[in-house]
Amino acid sequence: MKNEMGQLRREKETLQKKLSELEQGRWSFQNGLYYISTEKKSWSASRQFCRERGADLVIINSREEQEFISKAFGSTAAWIGLTDSHTEGDWKWVDNSALTTEFWFKGEPNDYEGKEDCAVSGYKGAGSERVSTWADYPCYHHEIIFVGICEKSL
């Protein structure tokens, strides 16, 4: 009985530690739960990270949501769920919905060298202190990696 109690206590401590780790870096806005990955990865690896946690890369539908992202994650450049990898210039969200609200930095998206098909928020050239802007980057280049912002609907 003592051994079982000790084992249960250790399991409880482990679960409490995992819960604490999950709660760090997590924010809520309207009907969504947002968190940012801690490791820098490619766009697809960041998306996989989110999906393994029951979420997906963030879909930004309003200025208020972009302001929230800017405030919560600061100027950290991070993947968002936006790509034109299927048809150049036709930007779609990960749920296949069309892009209706945009926060591109001036001159973006520019598809530099014909290789930029994924979007990041928190672009360093942001012109507004309240809302960070977006830029397009190569999705898979080994030198172009960022953290990802995940969103889970509640």
Per-residue b or e along 85-107, where b marks 16 or more CB atoms closer than 10 Å to that residue's CB? eeeeeebbbbeeeebeeebbbee
Its domain, for residue 116, covers 27-153
Output the pLDDT for position 23. 47
**For 123-140, what is each residue's pLDDT tens digit?**
765 455 567 899 999 998
Cα–Cα dist 28/88, whole Å: 33
**In angstroms, what CA-CA distances link 97 with 8, 94, 154?**
46, 7, 19
Output the pLDDT for position 29. 60
Does residue 16 fall inside a structural domain? no
**CATH number of the domain that residue 34 is part of:** 3.10.100.10
Asked whether 68 and 74 are in contact (CB, 8 A), the reply is: no
Does residue 121 fall inside a structural domain? yes
Does residue 75 fall inside a structural domain? yes
Output the pLDDT for position 27. 53
Does residue 105 fall inside a structural domain? yes
Cα–Cα dist 78/122, whole Å: 6
Q: What's the average model confidence in pLDDT over 33-49?
A: 90
Does residue 133 fall inside a structural domain? yes
Output the pLDDT for position 25. 52
Does residue 103 fall inside a structural domain? yes
Output the pLDDT for position 93. 98
Does residue 7 fall inside a structural domain? no
Report how many domains make up the chain: 1
Does residue 83 fall inside a structural domain? yes
